[in-house]
Amino acid sequence: MRIESDLRKALEEEQFEVYYQPKVELKTKKIIGMEALLRWQHPELGWISPAEFIPIAEENGQIISIGEWVLKTACLQSKRWQHDGLSPTNISVNVSVRQFQQGTLLTLVKEALQEAELVPSLLEIEVTESIMQNTKESTEIIRGLRDLGVQISIDDFGTGYSSLYIINQLPIDTIKLDKTFIDDMKSVDQQAMVRTIVDLGMNMKLKVVAEGIETDYQLNKLIEAKCEYGQGYLFSKAVRAEEIENLLQEAP
Ligand code: G
Ligand code: G
Ligand code: NA
Ligand code: MN
């Protein structure tokens, strides 16, 4: 398959770029962090969505080298923003189950932090509930990351089978309320669901970040539900690092 074979060249030929999507405090719209999101510009096919090529890279193992590159690039970028005098913000990086299973994640994270001379608490690792396929190993790795001082966030929260188990058993910092809950905020049932998850998060002393906020209506309903943080096109899509500098300088 074309994409699979071309993926092999993408790293060495520098076709990847890391984009950043701001994460904001909902009440003030103040930027409190960024999510690193990988982008691939194929020389002939143009932009290919990570939703398309990440699963392939997970399947054939290339996610290991790609993931390493994303993590190091994001850490170095975060440090560069600090050098440029922008106030430090938390940076989150998505990590696949496959990277968890590979056994070198802790070493890699340590290396990335050292290379960038980044304060560990500024790095957040985003994982999905599917890491629970390997409960014991995953729990150990998450503990190890926490011991380094790195933060852990559960992506697409509420869509997997083990949401409550995760909240109860893992030392995590943040849950990211999946976009599917936000899409349908006109429904009273969905509003109840969102309020309940936000309460659960608060009671467990977790940060709750709503994903995929696109309208003022959704924003207001989330604020009513006491959700404190969010991401979405209403604030900004994922943009290149240079554009983030403008956003941070404009910031109140
Ligand atoms: O940014 P976008 O909505 O196109 O991302 C599509 C999917 O690809 C999302 O599920 C997102 O989490 C995933 N993704 C984006 N960048 C990375 C990355 O660097 N590593 C991993 N593992 N997944 C990523
Ligand atoms: O799986 P993960 O949550 O990491 O994926 C995030 C994906 O959602 C990225 O591809 C990102 O570009 C996309 N995204 C972020 N904000 C919005 C939004 O407001 N609307 C839509 N449709 N997608 C969004
Ligand atoms: Na997400
Ligand atoms: Mn994510």
Which tens digit of pLDDT belongs to each residue from 81-93?
999 988 888 999 9
In short, whether 37's Cβ falls inside 6 Å of ligand 1 is yes
**H/E stretch holding 164:** helix 163-169
Nearest ligand, measured from the Cα of 58: 1
State in Å: Cα 52 to ligand 1 middle.
9
Query: Can you give the pTM of this predicted structure?
Result: 0.96
Would residue 45 count as lying in a domain?
yes
pLDDT over 60 at 252, yes or no: no
Of the listed ligands, the closest to the CA of 34 is: 4
Assigned domain for 219 exists: yes
Distance, CA of 157 to CA of 155 (rounded, Å) = 5
Residue 162's pLDDT is: 82
Q: For 193, phi and psi rounded to 5 degrees?
A: -60, -50
Q: Is 252 part of any domain?
A: no
Which structure tokens are listed for 94? 């998505």
Mind giving me the DSSP string for 7-27? HHHHTTTT-EEEEEEEEEETT
Residue 251 lies in a domain: no
Q: What is the pLDDT of residues 203-226, one digit of tens each?
A: 999 999 999 999 999 999 999 999
Residue 137 lies in a domain: yes
Task: Assess whether the C-beta atom of 47 lies below 6 angstroms from ligand 1.
Answer: no
Q: Which of 110-119, 135-144, 159-168, 223-232 has the lowest mean pLDDT?
A: 159-168
CATH number, domain containing residue 154: 3.20.20.450
Q: Is the confidence at residue 95, as pLDDT, over 70?
A: yes
- Number of compact structural domains in the chain: 1
**Residue 171 CA from chain centroid, whole number:** 17
Is 203 part of any domain?
A: yes
Atom of ligand 1 nearest to the CA of 99: 22
> Which structural domain, as residue segments, surrounds residue 165?
2-246
